[in-house]
Amino acid sequence: MTVRRIMGIETEYGIVDPAGTHTAEEISLDLIAAYSHAVGDLGFVDDVAWDLAGEMPMLDTRNPIVDRRHIADRNRVHQVASLTAQERSWQRGTTKVLHNGARFYVDHGHPEYASPECISPRQAVIYDRAGELIMRRAMDRLQEETGSGAVVYKNNVDGKGAAYGCHENYLTSRSVPFDDIVEALVPFLVTRPVLVGAGRVGIGPASEEAGFQLSQRADYIETIVGPHTTYSRPIVNTRDEPHAEPHLHRRLHVITGDANCVPSNTLLKLGMTSLLLWVLETSGLPEEWKSLRLTDPVAAVRAVSRDLSLTEALELADGRRMTALEIQSVYQQTAQALVDQQINGYRPDVETLDILDRWRDTIGLLSDNWRKTVGDVEWATKLALLEARRERDGLAWDAPELAAMDLQWSDIRSGRSMPERLMERGVFETLEADEWIKEAEFTPPAGTRAWFRGELIRRFPEQVYSASWHSIVVELDGGRLIRIPMTSPIAGCLAHLEDRMGECSTVEDILTLVESAGQNILADPDVYAKGQP
């Protein structure tokens, strides 16, 4: 058993422009440009565009017609768009591939940071926090250049009806029946916010009711299963775009989670979800989990989020009633039992045991009294601070001061971030050293293909024409473009070549090295000819 697998987080950040002179789209574009200028001053060339070839975000895993082996071929050989100089400049302005292997781009009017592929929950937490540094550096530079007072927030709602996502991605085996994934995930995701919700002031999409709830996303979940992410949002997303060998893998795209500002909550969120997938991959769907089917999952999402007592019992399909904490306990105990059996004599790694302990302990403390988790659980800590302010100043839940406090919680500016200040005071656990996070801004994670992507961009930025999750296009002399496929997130990372990469002084040397390792290099002059201005 292990929590280790390929995973990552995509975070759309909220924007507030006090001056009100620019749209969110304009500010997002300005932030990307400002970040490029800032890292340019540090000696980093930041001019690699995202390659959209082969991306098919509307593929639905429930569609039996699509030949997924054909998709694999298309991911490898689909044409690179031959752009004019003007078009190429525009595309680079809206999306960037960063030196750490991540993607920084504009999505639905928000600046979004999509972390590089990581190999474990702890590594993913580090690169998620590196995204905060990137946004902070972009904000600071934009203010220096233009005097803009725009502020970026790591949250999911504006309190006026708009929502934006924090999406988790997990690579899992396609051998697991999707129906089993749905059956296991629905009760799990419905009740997960009781442990890792970020908390929110306001009830209803536009805060129609005064109050506090555990989850920022709950009011925007409208259906059980579906492919969409910006409307008719489902509990289980069926998007089937693995960015890997599609006949072997699927990418589970989780859209119900909150953007956590507390690292230990991000760790637990990723870890226990990964463990659930491990159970499905190695043992199938446990009978204990089958019995957790909810009568009305969508209604239960809201019920869990609004139940500050943590005692509301949800109706199950078999007529029983269980609280969110009781349901989470079934999941944890099932995973724990499989660990205790030490399947095939395999002893779990330390990170896996740590997640199991955190999962169990958090359930236990919340079952006793939620106030015992202040300093551990994000929503509980936020609620305790808000309650203290309410009591001190005699405020009702609809007081603008409380909404402002809620917003300040997600302010990522240095010296303004409340969770960061609480970590400095020892209230919240500090999972990783600041040096690791700073290093992660410019260094790709080892152990995945992100390392090769980031290393190639670092060493040969002028010759990397574009990049995506599953390939890199490099430009040789004369404008000839060559695609290096990386459809395997682990084996395709070419990490075994790390020691020899230092011997390469040109991109051509890299290509020779890659081919010597048995990796096919794809080129079609008719398809990959560079566009002329």
Every domain of the chain and the residues it spans: 7-46+92-432, 48-83+448-532
**pLDDT above 70: percentage of residues in the chain:** 88
SS3 93: helix
For residue 405, what pLDDT is reported? Answer: 97
**Residue bearing tokens 């609280």:** 323
- Say how far apart CA 220 and CA 223 lie, in whole Å: 9
Residue whose tokens read 């919340």: 366
| CATH label, 7-46+92-432, candidates 3.30.1370, 1.10.760, 3.30.590, 2.30.29 | 3.30.590
Binned at pLDDT 50, 70 and 90, residue 55 comes out as confident
Mean pLDDT, residues 57-65 taken together: 67
pLDDT value of residue 521: 62
Whether 331 shows a pLDDT value over 90: the answer reads yes
pLDDT at 172 over 60: yes
Condensed to tens digits (0 to 9), the pLDDT of residues 427-463 reads: 999 988 899 999 999 999 988 999 989 989 998 988 9
Q: Give the range among 12-21, 232-241, 284-293, 478-487 with minimum mean pLDDT.
A: 478-487
Can you give the pLDDT at residue 149? 93
Q: Per the residue annotation, which of 30, 51, 107, 240 is the catalytic one? A: 107
Q: Are 148 and 219 in contact (CB under 8 A)?
A: no
Phi, psi at residue 262, to the nearest 5°?
Answer: -105, 115
pLDDT recorded at residue 159: 86
Q: Which of 62, 15, 406, 9 is nearest to 234 (CA)?
A: 62
Q: What is the mean pLDDT of residues 397-414?
A: 96
Which of residues 442 and 19 earns the better pLDDT score? 442
Q: What is the pLDDT of residue 446?
A: 87
Q: Note if the pTM is more than 0.85.
A: yes
Confidence of residue 80 (pLDDT cuts 50, 70, 90): very low
Q: How many CA atoms lie less than 13 Å away from 29 in the CB half-sphere?
A: 10
User: How crowded is residue 434: how many other Cβ atoms within 10 Å of its Cβ?
Assistant: 10
- On whether the CB atoms of residues 106 and 3 are closer than 8 A, the answer is no
Contact, 441 vs 432, CB < 8 A? no
At 399 the pLDDT is: 98
Q: Which amino acid is at 273?
A: T
Looking at residue 91, its pLDDT comes to 47
Higher pLDDT, 497 or 240: 240
More confident residue, 217 or 64: 217
pLDDT at 529 over 50: no
Is 107 in the active site? yes
What would the pLDDT profile of 338-388 be if each residue is shown by its tens digit? 988 875 566 789 999 999 999 999 999 999 999 999 999 999 999 999 999
Q: Is the pLDDT of residue 90 over 80?
A: no
